[in-house]
Structure 1
Amino acid sequence: MPKVSALDMPDVPMGQLPEHLQLQRTRVVCKADAPIHTEAIQYSGAYASMGVDNSLQLESFCNNFKIEVIRLTEDEIEFDMIGIDASLANAFRRILIAEVPTMAIEKVLMVNNTSVIADEVLAHRLGLIPLNADPSLFEYLSENDSPNERNTIVYKLDVSCKKGGPRMTVKSDQLKWLPSGSELEMTPPNQSAKPKSYTSFSCSQDSMPEFSKKPLGVKHEDIIIAKLGPGQAIELEAHAVKGIGKVHAKWSPVSTAWYRMLPEVVLLKDIKGDDAEKLVKKCPVNVFDIEDLGNGEKKAVVSKPRACTLCRECIRGVNEELVELRRVKDHFIFTIESAGALPPEVLFTEAVKILEDKCDRVISDLS
């Protein structure tokens, strides 16, 4: 950036930036071919000659940062994060995808499978079914631990299609929770040894207070697992454990988590008459509207800038000098779609806690 002295701009008071520099500092301008001013200006003394401190101040961040919830449903939340850097917004996105734990089927004990789906493919399909289980109530299962009521959920699937009958669709609601643990027995190493179960539950999970009110079933009961023809059958036992998305995608708690900068659409000049009508028709998401000025005069106005998808149709051709598309650098529209295991608002809260723990570890290592 070229050095600019405040003496060269007597009409700009000390402590304030001229309009063009403030635009570069706070906005990404989207031209017809490519965006400009995309880099964040991090150097604290970038505007020192004009009396502006560009350093990050904790007090200023606390005063300016805020979150506004725009939309909240059972499986999705959209909210605005205002006053943060893109790196921090991206940190939340990555944590949501890869580091917030959930429960998922990890081990499948196949007793009988005469369907057309191979054992390993069937096990993979079962692992992707969202489970209605709170991961905070469970512990991680390490290599040295035995499966117990605190780290494992056991499900059973036993279905068959009668010979001579119609084809049968196997859905996720046919997975039955076994609160007392595995019903299968391991093959003993020698005939004199007593057979053992694959799990070591000391008590039934449905007798524990945290599980008695809410059965540990599946989140969606209409997920198709397989289709059986006459005479085919599936009998298996599935063991679910706690994990995170960076190990395998089946533990990722979100179907997607994404963000975008807040759109800002600016009309540089009044657009009236037929030009206004053409501008409104160019936008596929109805960002613009027509305002009636009276006496048969009309002009274009920006009615829904938030809906802008940056298709750039409005700035192509003759309109490039009339309309300017911008993005606010410190204002992010964040969307979280839960896979079903946890509500979307809880997912973001858990991501904040994980980032806080990371920061505490760094501070502890530095000190």
Structure 2
Amino acid sequence: MVTPSQEELERRRIVGINAETVTHITSTDFPGHWPGEDHSWDLEHFKKNFKIQFHTNAQHDASFSLIGLDASVANAFRRILIAEVPTLAIEDVFIYNNTSIIQDEVLSHRLGLIPLKGNREGLNWMKWYKKPTDDDPRASTPSDYNTIVLMLNVTCTWKEKGLEKATAGETDPNRLYNNHNVYAHHMTFHPIGQQNTYFPPSAPIAPVHPDILIAKLRPGQCIDLRMHCMKGIGADHAKFSPVATASYRLMPSINIAAPILGADARKFARCFPRGVIALQPVTAEEAARKGSGYEGHEREVKAVVVDPMRDTVSRECLRHEEFKDKVKLGRVRDHFIFRIESSGQWDSDELFLESVRVLKVKCQRMKRGLEGLMR
């Protein structure tokens, strides 16, 4: 068997980005494509080459790289993050009184899109609620382990100073009315059964963002309703998706093939987002080395790639004739830069671990199905 050089393997990893075309987009690391080379999948080889690098890791925003992975697996993680990690959301709204100007249907839709949070152990403890359908009239019974009850009861009234109402001619609603804005924090959690244990006062079910505006009221108007929250996945409805966004992009590759100096270097740096290209002086060693291209240019500035991750691959540099033969743009086909923004029910770094768990369960289910077919 033939073993390709490391340089050749690195070349195969690059997707070519040209002025008008994209080349080498198809992966070639599979058995039979390269004669005499063994590209059969090997677990030890995968462990050796697979890497995870975290770039930022805030509670609701994380960015990290998965290196040495196939695009199909990376895309599986992305799709699972969007559509298959379960969360809690408002599913049923029982309206007792709504005299606001917002229709019942619009108000219910608004409430359903408010992201909720609570004790993580309690959310995992909750079971699925099965709603009745025409084909299957049997349904789950609302219980403490599959339904969370929230209440919203707000009435707008005039503000009074002693026995008199607000000063005549006043236009500021904050001085005129009580509860004229209905916010998410007006929703109250009413635990039932064992929910007091799994959702203690320190971590109750509550909106992630308490200042979400639900409706505006005027004196005499009120909203009185009851909400049932249930467990679901984004594949059923977007309100159950645990992420605001989950995406990935390939790592940009910028290879300066020939020296770019002086005014050209400054112009070249302006073709990229700030921080991608740096201007550094040519050292005496580089100027003295024959064939380096820097002979006689000591202390003159040169263009150097310092942070290709910041690049957006706009191809701006390829529009200038002086750079066309001096730079090669590309993307690394097995280096995926993920960005996950959590909607609040899960921490962003936990979401990726949860997507790994979901994919593992799906693989085990498929394995059992294959074993059943082979019997």
How far the C-alpha of 1:231 sits from its partner, in A, is: 2.4
What SS class does the counterpart of residue 265 from structure 2 fall into? Answer: helix
| Aligned residue in 2 for 1:81 | 66
Q: 1:255 to 1:217 in 2, by over 3 A?
A: same
Does 2:103 align with 1:91?
Answer: no
| Aligned residue in 1 for 2:171 | none
CA distance in 2: counterparts of 1:315 and 1:173, whole angstroms: 53
CA distance in 2: counterparts of 1:100 and 1:239, whole angstroms: 20
CA distance in 2: counterparts of 1:220 and 1:38, whole angstroms: 43
1:272-283 maps to which residues of 2 (within 5 A)? 272-283=261-272
What SS class does the counterpart of residue 251 from structure 2 fall into? Answer: strand
Q: Which amino acid aligns with 2:184?
A: S
CA contact (8 A) 2:273 2:311 kept: no
Relative to the length of structure 2, the TM-score reads: 0.83
Does 2:190 align with 1:205?
Answer: no
How far the C-alpha of 1:24 sits from its partner, in A, is: 5.5
What SS class does the counterpart of residue 211 from structure 1 fall into? Answer: coil
Does 2:20 align with 1:16?
Answer: no
What SS class does the counterpart of residue 116 from structure 1 fall into? Answer: coil
| Aligned residue in 2 for 1:171 | 183
The Cα offsets for residues 67-90 of structure 1, whole Å up to 9 and x where unpaired, read as: 122210010111111111011000
| Aligned residue in 1 for 2:232 | 243
| Aligned residue in 2 for 1:196 | none
How far the C-alpha of 1:211 sits from its partner, in A, is: 3.5
Q: Which moved more, 1:55-64 or 1:297-306?
A: 55-64
| Aligned residue in 2 for 1:59 | 44
How far the C-alpha of 1:324 sits from its partner, in A, is: 1.2
1:126-165 maps to which residues of 2 (within 5 A)? 126-133=111-118, 134=120, 135-143=123-131, 144-163=139-158, 165=176
| Aligned residue in 2 for 1:5 | none
Q: 1:239 to 1:18 in 2, by over 3 A?
A: closer
How far the C-alpha of 1:96 sits from its partner, in A, is: 0.6
What SS class does the counterpart of residue 55 from structure 2 fall into? Answer: strand
The Cα offsets for residues 281-335 of structure 1, whole Å up to 9 and x where unpaired, read as: 2223331111122655111111211101111112222112111111111111111
How far the C-alpha of 1:175 sits from its partner, in A, is: 0.5
CA distance in 2: counterparts of 1:245 and 1:277, whole angstroms: 47
Does 2:304 align with 1:301?
Answer: yes
Q: Which amino acid aligns with 1:113?
A: N
How far the C-alpha of 1:352 sits from its partner, in A, is: 0.7
| Aligned residue in 1 for 2:170 | none
RMSD: 2.0
1:218-367 maps to which residues of 2 (within 5 A)? 218-293=207-282, 296-318=299-321, 319-367=323-371
In the alignment, structure 2 segments of 5+ residues that lack a partner are: 132-138, 159-164, 166-175, 284-297
CA contact (8 A) 1:205 1:212 kept: no
The Cα offsets for residues 198-237 of structure 1, whole Å up to 9 and x where unpaired, read as: xxxxx2622x255354212121111111111232211111
CA distance in 1: counterparts of 2:38 and 2:320, whole angstroms: 40
Q: 1:336 to 1:18 in 2, by over 3 A?
A: closer
Q: Which amino acid aligns with 1:216?
A: I
Relative to the length of structure 1, the TM-score reads: 0.85
Q: Which amino acid aligns with 2:319?
A: R
Q: Which moved more, 1:91-100 or 1:60-69?
A: 60-69
What SS class does the counterpart of residue 90 from structure 1 fall into? Answer: helix
| Aligned residue in 2 for 1:214 | 203
What SS class does the counterpart of residue 236 from structure 2 fall into? Answer: coil
The Cα offsets for residues 147-193 of structure 1, whole Å up to 9 and x where unpaired, read as: 1111111111111212583482211111011113xxxxxxxxxxxxx
CA contact (8 A) 1:68 1:81 kept: yes
Question: What percentage of residue pairs aligned between the two structures are identical?
Answer: 41
Q: Which amino acid aligns with 1:285?
A: R
In the alignment, structure 1 segments of 5+ residues that lack a partner are: 1-12, 181-202
| Aligned residue in 1 for 2:25 | 38
Q: 1:356 to 1:204 in 2, by over 3 A?
A: closer
CA contact (8 A) 1:257 1:335 kept: yes
| Aligned residue in 1 for 2:95 | 110
CA distance in 1: counterparts of 2:207 and 2:34, whole angstroms: 56
Q: Which amino acid aligns with 1:348?
A: F
Could you list the structure 1 runs, at least 4 aligned residues long, displaced by more than 4 angstroms after superposition.
none
Does 2:33 align with 1:29?
Answer: no
The Cα offsets for residues 233-267 of structure 1, whole Å up to 9 and x where unpaired, read as: 11111110000000000000000100111111110
CA distance in 2: counterparts of 1:22 and 1:215, whole angstroms: 53
CA contact (8 A) 1:45 1:55 kept: no
Q: Which amino acid aligns with 2:189?
A: W
CA contact (8 A) 1:149 1:205 kept: yes
What SS class does the counterpart of residue 77 from structure 1 fall into? Answer: strand
CA distance in 2: counterparts of 1:213 and 1:159, whole angstroms: 24
CA distance in 1: counterparts of 2:112 and 2:351, whole angstroms: 20
